[in-house]
């Protein structure tokens, strides 16, 4: 397994596996026995960074979420939870009442919601702290100063290890970090955004955004990360739900542009040369770049997590990486 240290404060930083395991569908779509088997296999291989959210996965059974956190709590209890595992969860995307579709109305990020949701997540997980706590999506209705103070205060008291932001614009990340520094509070040190080898279009509006594809890693965000070594990017959906390897999983319109065709050709070349799967090449490329990235990968079977874990042993040559990069920038 490869490892990275996240966080800049020695008292808070964590040494985590460079492949994170997403538990989004565990406890709902993925049954408990299978979920436990996947978690066990991941941990046996040296994986120690597990990700969930307080709203996972409300859309499966029409709830408010929490099933994934609860399953993780049962698994942690069954194996004798230790501080060696880094558990991340999120707040801000929970529907205010049971729902099956994501709507504009979410719980938000008011100090009261953060306090109550954190307490609920800790109860679900069976822990007295969460190692990484993300704001799941921006909440323009709550002043950023209040959000920063709430996260920073919980971090200062020890119920949060590292503060994270997910799906935020680069300017919001920078502003939040400056506000935290000015207040003498722990600020954001972990980001979670969508990132993969293919570049997604950033001009398409979406939920809660009329200005483009919020949450998609842009060149601007990558440039920001190059100048901020204290920040770590966790990349969600790096394998595009199977689209790299399955003909029955076509790419979304987010990747319908000329750059994708150039990158596909470069990827096909490296796959042929290495004998690895396209998924493994993509993961190796993400982990070994100039900006170290932690791919966040889900699995619905032990076979899937085994394929993912094998990417750790794939070392791309300098020439292969250069060709992948030159097909559209890294």
Q: What is the pLDDT of residue 205?
A: 57
Q: Has residue 290 got a pLDDT over 90?
A: no
Residue 310 and residue 35 in contact, taking contact as beta carbons nearer than 8 Å: no
Cα dihedral 258→260→263→268 (10° resolution): -120
* pLDDT at 113 > cutoff 70: yes
> Which segment of 56-70, 209-223, 269-283, 307-321 scores lowest on mean pLDDT?
209-223
Q: Is the dihedral of CA 221, 88, 298, 203 positive or negative?
A: negative
Q: Which pLDDT value is given to residue 153?
A: 97
What digits encode the pLDDT tens for the residues 169-186?
Answer: 999 999 999 999 999 999
Cβ contact 229:4 at 8 Å: no
Q: Is the pLDDT of residue 221 over 80?
A: yes
Rounded CA separation 2/150 (Å): 33
Q: How far apart are CA 318 and CA 2, in angstroms?
A: 18
- By the 8 A CB rule, do 26 and 252 touch? no
* Domain residue ranges of the chain, discontinuous segments joined by +: 3-256+277-315
Burial label, 66 (beta-carbon count in 10 A; 0-12, 13-18, 19+): buried
Enclosing H/E stretch for 48: none
Q: What is the pTM of this model?
A: 0.94
- 234-288 pLDDT, tens digit each: 999 999 989 999 988 899 888 888 899 999 999 999 999 999 999 999 999 999 9
Q: Which of 76-85, 129-138, 222-231, 260-269 is least confident?
A: 76-85
Q: For residue range 293-319, what is the model confidence (pLDDT) as tens digits?
A: 999 999 999 999 999 999 999 999 999
Using one digit for the tens of pLDDT, what is the confidence trace for 118-170? 999 999 999 999 999 999 999 999 999 999 999 999 999 999 999 999 999 99
Q: Are 70 and 124 in contact (CB under 8 A)?
A: yes
* Helix, coil or strand: residue 119: helix
- Is 60 exceeded by the pLDDT of residue 230? yes
Residue 217 CA to its chain's centroid (Å): 12
Listed in order, strand segments (DSSP E) in 23-91 are: 49-51, 86-91
In CATH, the number for domain 3-256+277-315 is 3.20.20.100
**Cα–chain-centroid distance for residue 2?**
17
> What's the whole-number average pLDDT of the chain?
93
- Cβ pair 233, 217 in contact under 8 A: yes
Encoded tokens for 8: 């800049």
């Amino acid at each position: 397994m490869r490892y990275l240290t996240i966080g800049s404060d020695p008292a808070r930083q964590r040494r985590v596996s460079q492949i994170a395991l997403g538990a989004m569908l565990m406890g709902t779509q993925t049954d408990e026995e299978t979920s436990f088997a996947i978690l066990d296999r991941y941990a046996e291989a040296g994986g120690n960074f597990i990700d969930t959210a307080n709203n996972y996965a409300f859309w499966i059974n029409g709830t408010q979420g929490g099933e994934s956190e609860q399953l993780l709590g049962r698994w942690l209890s069954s194996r004798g939870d230790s501080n060696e595992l880094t558990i991340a969860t999120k707040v801000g995307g929970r529907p205010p009442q049971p729902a099956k579709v994501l709507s504009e109305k979410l719980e938000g990020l008011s100090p009261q919601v953060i306090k109550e949701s954190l307490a609920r997540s800790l109860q679900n997980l069976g822990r007295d702290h969460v190692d990484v706590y993300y704001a799941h999506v921006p909440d323009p209705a709550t002043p950023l100063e209040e959000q920063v103070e709430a996260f920073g205060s919980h971090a200062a008291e020890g119920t949060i290890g590292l503060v994270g932001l997910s799906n935020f614009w680069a300017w919001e990340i920078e502003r939040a970090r400056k506000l935290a520094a000015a207040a003498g509070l722990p600020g954001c040190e972990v980001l979670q955004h969508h990132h993969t080898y293919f570049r997604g279009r950033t001009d398409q509006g979406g939920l809660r955004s009329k200005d483009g594809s919020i949450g998609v890693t842009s060149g601007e965000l990558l440039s920001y990360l190059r100048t901020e070594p204290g920040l770590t990017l966790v990349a969600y959906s790096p394998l595009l739900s199977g689209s790299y390897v399955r003909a029955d999983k076509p790419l979304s319109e987010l990747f319908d542009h000329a750059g994708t065709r150039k990158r596909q050709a470069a990827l096909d070349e490296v796959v042929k040369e290495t004998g690895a799967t396209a998924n493994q090449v993509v993961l190796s490329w993400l982990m070994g770049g100039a900006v170290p990235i932690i791919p966040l990968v889900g699995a619905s079977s032990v076979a899937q997590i085994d394929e993912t874990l094998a990417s750790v042993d794939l070392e791309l040559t300098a020439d292969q990486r250069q060709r992948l990069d030159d097909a559209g920038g890294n």
